[in-house]
Structure formats: C-alpha cells, structure tokens
Amino acid sequence: MSDLVTRAQMILLARTLHVPVERIAYLERLGSEHLHELEQRISGRIFEYHGEMFKRIGRLIPIIPLQVSLPLVQRIVPPMMTGRAAGAVGVEYPDAAADTLTMLKTEYAADCTPYVDPKALGELGDIMAAEPLVAIVNEVLRRKDHITAGPFLEYASPKMVEAVERGTLDDEGIIFSAAYAYSTSAVSNILRQLLDGGSQRIPRMMENVLAGSPELQEAAVSVMSRAEADVVFRIGDILLSLATPEALGKLAAHTIQRGAAPELMTFVSKFGQPGLQRMAMNPIFANTAALIAIVESLIVAFKPGPWKGLLLLAQRSHPDVQRYVAGLVARMPVEQISELPSVANADDLWPELLRLLAVAEEPAQRRIGVVWAQLPAERRAGLHRRIAELELESRLAGIVHEVPNVSVEEVFYQRRRRIRRRGAASDSWSVA
C-alpha cells in the first residue's frame, strides 16, 4: 500500500537520528501517527539536551551584530548546526531570527531548512516579510526536497500560505510537498488557499495532474484524500470538468497500480452525486484486475473511508460489476468479513453494503452469513432489523438463513441478566 505520509515520517525520523532510512526500516510498521509522535519526542529531547548551549548562543545575539556574525557563520558553521540552533534561538529572539533570514544567502538558508524546527519557521512567517521565506521555499523545491517543504507548509501561517500561493509557481512541487505534510487540517488549509486565492491555481494544477507522471498523480490523490469534505467536493468538480474519460481512467489506473487505491477510494467517497456517477461509469471500474487490486488493498487498509468510496461506486455501477465486487468481498479473509459490520456502523454504510451483498450469489452470501453468525446477539438483531427495513429478506436469503435471529426483547433480557450477575458478585464480596 502507498503511504506518502508514513514515508515522510520515516525520512524525518532518520534525519533526526542522523542515520540512513534503511537503518530504521523496521519501524515503518508503526504507521504515520506513531512515527510522527516518536519523531516529535526525540526531536524535543535533542533540543532539551542542547538547551543550555542554545541559550548561550542566544545571549550573544544582542552583543554581536548580525552583520558581523552571519558572514562567519555561513563560512564555518555546518548547516545542520545552524539549522538546529536557529529553531531554538528563533523562539527566544523571533525578531533577530527574522532579520537573520533576510540576511542569509538563500542557498545556505535552504541547506539549513531540513534541520530547523518547522514550528519555529511557521511562527516567523507571521512577523517577517514573506519574500525571504518564499525564496527559501522556491530553492528547496528547486532541489526537489519535498520532504523538507512538507512540514514547512504544514506549520505555515495563513499569511505564509497565501505568499507561497502567489510566489511559488512550481505546481508539482507544491503537490508533492503537501503530500508529505502530516496534518489533515493543514492540507485542507493549503488547498483552500489554492482554491480561493487570487491566482486560481487549482484548475491549472489539476490539468498538470491529469497530464503528469504516475508519481504526481499518486501524490495529488494522497493530498486530496486527506482534505476535508467541502474542499474535496470543490476540487472534484474542477477535476471532473477538465478530465476526459480516458484521462480519468489513467489517473485511477496509475493510482491503483502504485498501491494507493485506499487513498483513491477515500478521495472518491467525498464526491457529489454527479461525480460519483461519472467515476462509477468509467471503464477502469469495470476492469476485473483493477477491482481485485482495490479490494485487496482495502483488506490491508481496513478503514471506513476507503470502503465508503468502494461501496458508493459499486452502488452506481453495472449489475455485473456489482456482482463481481460482491464476490470479491465474500472471498475476503474471515477476519475482514467479521469486521465489515463495524465499517458499516462507522459511516452509516449499511444500505450500500447490504444492497451490494443482495446481488451476490447465494454461496457467497452463505459464506458471509456463516461468519456473521458469530457476531454478538445485539449485532445480529441489528443486522436482521436493517435487512427488514430495506426489504431485502428474499434477496439476502443466504445471510438470513445462516445468521440466527434474536428478538430485541431477548437481547435486553440477556443484557439485564449479565448486569444482575455482575451486581450479585459484587454484593457477595466481603471484607471479613
């Protein structure tokens, strides 16, 4: 599975530890959330360890004029040391740090940027002229160091994001960098600025994505899958207004081939009704190899977002496609079949899930039913209730036959019995 965010967190952690990424490859299984937390903790400990040294450096700032110190720093101090110190000192002396950035050579500042605390850079964006920071961003993007630019954009102030929108013309660089940002709210804020800013960047960006490399298309889908629904709704409309069916199919195919089907499905799940219908009718979603790859990837990335996208597409697909997808779902491992009700509950997907399974052949339904028969009584009662509400009893005969029904009254009776037993056990306890 593709996960640009996890990849970025691995590289940032390796930089913090001063080791090759391969050295910590075993940590990738932690996932982006835990890797981000680990990197933040280690980075904090490093700054804490060097805190006294940074304070001593800070005390020199009012004494030694920057015009004297900076030329020496750029000649003799390694960028890594300058970057680490700059972030810590900048928090204590933000005005001096802002002046420093305006006086440093752009190339040297870009060398330092991978080692600067991005939060400190974000704070500086509010108190200094944007031009020097935009120049540094452009230099970092010219080097294609999107891993460094991602956290920078993540912590950038609204003023700074607006300045980047106006002053950074590298559409691909912005997309790749945003893909490496961790915060979903930051990704949404960046895209909102690109949507609403004076330069109207999104239509041009989407044209570049449709004509771009598979790597760019993967990055764009990753970014948009993590944005908030209102942002994706608007971008989806723009994308679909520009894309031919062939271009749309290539975008989906490249994304699936690169292992990013979960991100694609999450992206699609936030489309409006016309967009969903158009995507569902694209030939790529009638391609059996593509459907197999999608379902296999969703088995690994077993989350409501991707499943919502698949179920919404399937609901609007040709009956033959629906039947094929239902068969793939029925052949999933038992563990994933047993978790499907949790996915349906998480995003109110029961109607879409049950209508899809209603077109499955009876042996496929029975296989699912055998697994769901092991669900707790409350969940079995809820399943039968939903099937009845949708009037699917006859079309879901295989599941209905295999899953024992239980009345709501029986469910509450059994629950009260369990509560009374726990209460009786508690009453019988004695301190004697």
Tracing tokens 């004697």 back to the chain, one arrives at 432
Task: Tell me: pLDDT of 13 over 70.
Answer: yes
Q: Are residues 383 and 372 in contact, defined by beta-carbon separation less than 8 angstroms?
A: yes
Half-sphere exposure of 76 (CA within 13 A, CB side): 5
Helices 288-300, 319-330: crossing angle, 10 deg rounding: 40
- The shares of helix, strand and coil residues in the chain, as percent rounded to the nearest 5, are 80, 0, 20
For 249, residues 6+ apart whose C-beta sits below 8 A from its C-beta are 282, 283, 284
Write out pLDDT tens, residues 403-424: 998 766 666 666 666 666 666 5
Write out pLDDT tens, residues 51-98: 565 555 555 555 555 565 667 677 777 888 777 777 666 666 677 677
Q: Are residues 74 and 112 in contact, defined by beta-carbon separation less than 8 angstroms?
A: no
Half-sphere exposure of 275 (CA within 13 A, CB side): 20
Percentage of residues of the chain with pLDDT beyond 70:
85
Q: What confidence tier does 427 reach under pLDDT thresholds 50, 70, 90?
A: very low
Write out pLDDT tens, residues 297-352: 999 989 999 999 999 999 999 999 999 999 999 999 999 999 999 999 988 899 99
* Domain residue spans of the chain: 1-198, 200-288, 318-424
Given this model, what pLDDT does residue 366 score?
Answer: 96
Q: What amino acid occupies position 399?
A: I
Cα dist from 148 to 111, 123, 132, 163, whole Å? 10, 17, 17, 18
> Any idea which of 79-83, 133-137, 293-297, 388-392 has the lowest mean pLDDT?
79-83
Write out pLDDT tens, residues 220-251: 999 999 999 999 999 999 999 999 999 999 99
Given this model, what pLDDT does residue 1 score?
Answer: 40
Q: What confidence tier does 99 reach under pLDDT thresholds 50, 70, 90?
A: confident
DSSP states along 250-307: HHHHHHHHTT-HHHHHHHHHTS-HHHHHHHHTSGGGG-HHHHHHHHHHHHHS--HHHH
- Pseudo-torsion of CA 10, 12, 13, 19, nearest 10°? 100
Q: What confidence tier does 430 reach under pLDDT thresholds 50, 70, 90?
A: very low
Given this model, what pLDDT does residue 431 score?
Answer: 33
Write out pLDDT tens, residues 18-37: 899 999 999 999 988 899 89
